[in-house]
Structure 1
């Protein structure tokens, strides 16, 4: 019995130890765990969603993959291998980027325990890929596949012919073991031109009238009202609940201000006119059935001023006493 327990324990250790991720160019999990110093917003987002996913940087795996990667991993879930634990890494955003050049390159993979390898497959996103979207299999082009080999802890993958690309892309890596059906996956964000700044570039465009600083942030008319059905990406600004909010990463349906760890960052409160909430019907725009209104928004309709109790679109003021609109005295 003791021998059986010992053998079972050895097997469990071998399974648990077989982990890894791309080191260069750094995968999302590798960078967030070893390199990030708290400045990258997407690493902080992932940490807020599941800190254990950062600690287990080497465990984006499928135990019984057996080369059935596309059958087991859904579009939009490639960076997590369809594992809920790593769901945050599927979100588009300003993930850490490694500069890369086209041509023959050597990539480095860190295996916390080396195991017999059937192959490494290296993919890159196709020309014209939109980085504001979740990664899908059709976005990828296979550029390299190794032969079977016995790896060391640090694995160098030589002769990877990186094609010409422009701007931001993703290198997607699949490591299929030969001594087990288990496979590992990673997403590495790369940039080819290297000229584009990482974050906060608006001051460089100071001559552009549409990106002015305080007048732009504080003027409610410049930004659309937040829409729960709309998709927003990093740096998008909206107005909600009397304030301007800026998206830190890709988001849809996350209400600004609903969580301090959410995707929205408060920019500035919108200045209210002192007389705006009383009898100043001319200050309220005419109600429109196609316009999105948020809590506190006021409209003019049938000679009266109405205030939204909550988010609404298409609900006519005065149509129902239980509706979203409340008449302002």
Structure 2
């Protein structure tokens, strides 16, 4: 009986690896929650959206290196793109999420999302200085409030880890009813180039706080 061709074995291994990663993610409770910023995409949501169908491709290393390092660090962070949260924060976000760990929600879930804190050439989307952010609320939790911050001009996301002092409040909404999409108006004048948009979503159904880093290129 002939042995299978190497490419057949490789494809089978890739499918098995993908299936195991998906099963692992379902075991963490992703099926019961939750959401993420979809536009401009949060780092982990963007990595999932661009690469979930081909997450073991070697092309990712050159085409999307920051997503590559994130997938390599912990694939479950992307499969669980809708679960970057902390429970019981009580509104004291700066105490729960230390400087340098904002994008990972303070290394929540034992550091599952730690790769999102790493500075580098994260892919950006072009935005004017005033734009509408959208939160994809997959479980229709609603929001007590959503705060949207933008890094100050001069901050360099390619070399610096994000701190609270780097941020300026640029958008705020309160008492958002349940629904699958939640738009928030953002106004960030005086900025150009690569910036981080940082969103804090305080869900309504529980004391549950979500934290998202999105990368934008302000076009003026």
What residue in structure 2 maps to residue 24 of structure 1?
A: 39
Name the Cα RMSD after superposition.
1.8
Secondary structure in structure 2 of the residue aligned to 1:147: strand
Check if 1:190 corresponds to 2:216.
Answer: yes
Check if 1:101 corresponds to 2:128.
Answer: yes
2:34 touches 2:141 (CA, 8 Å); kept in 1? no
The structure carrying a bigger helix percent of its residues is 2
What residue in structure 2 maps to residue 303 of structure 1?
A: none
What residue in structure 2 maps to residue 114 of structure 1?
A: 140
CA distance in 2, matches of 1:88, 1:73: 15
Q: Could you state the TM-score of these two structures normalised by the residue count of structure 2?
A: 0.76
Moved over 3 A (4+): none
How far apart are 1:67 and its partner, in Å? 1.1
Map 1:1-329 to 2 at 5 A. Answer: 17-36=32-51, 38=60, 39-83=63-107, 84-103=111-130, 105-131=131-157, 132-157=159-184, 159-193=185-219
Deviations 1:6-65 (A, max 9, x none): xxxxxxxx9963321111101101110012463211111001000111110111110112
2:145 touches 2:173 (CA, 8 Å); kept in 1? yes
CA distance in 1, matches of 2:89, 2:115: 21
Higher relative contact order (CA 8 A, sep 6+): 2
What residue in structure 2 maps to residue 324 of structure 1?
A: none
CA distance in 1, matches of 2:75, 2:40: 22
Secondary structure in structure 1 of the residue aligned to 2:103: helix
Deviations 1:172-221 (A, max 9, x none): 00000233111111000111149xxxxxxxxxxxxxxxxxxxxxxxxxxx
CA distance in 1, matches of 2:88, 2:47: 27
1:171 touches 1:190 (CA, 8 Å); kept in 2? yes
How far apart are 1:160 and its partner, in Å? 2.1
CA distance in 2, matches of 1:116, 1:53: 23
CA distance in 1, matches of 2:183, 2:171: 13
Give the number of the structure whose alpha-carbon radius of gyration is greater: 1
What residue in structure 2 maps to residue 304 of structure 1?
A: none
Q: Gaps spanning 5+ residues in structure 2: where?
A: 1-28, 55-59
1:18 touches 1:113 (CA, 8 Å); kept in 2? yes
CA distance in 2, matches of 1:24, 1:136: 22
1:19 touches 1:184 (CA, 8 Å); kept in 2? no
1:33 touches 1:55 (CA, 8 Å); kept in 2? yes
Give the direction of change, closer, same or farther, for the CA distance of 1:72–1:16 in structure 2 (3 Å limit): farther
Secondary structure in structure 1 of the residue aligned to 2:162: coil
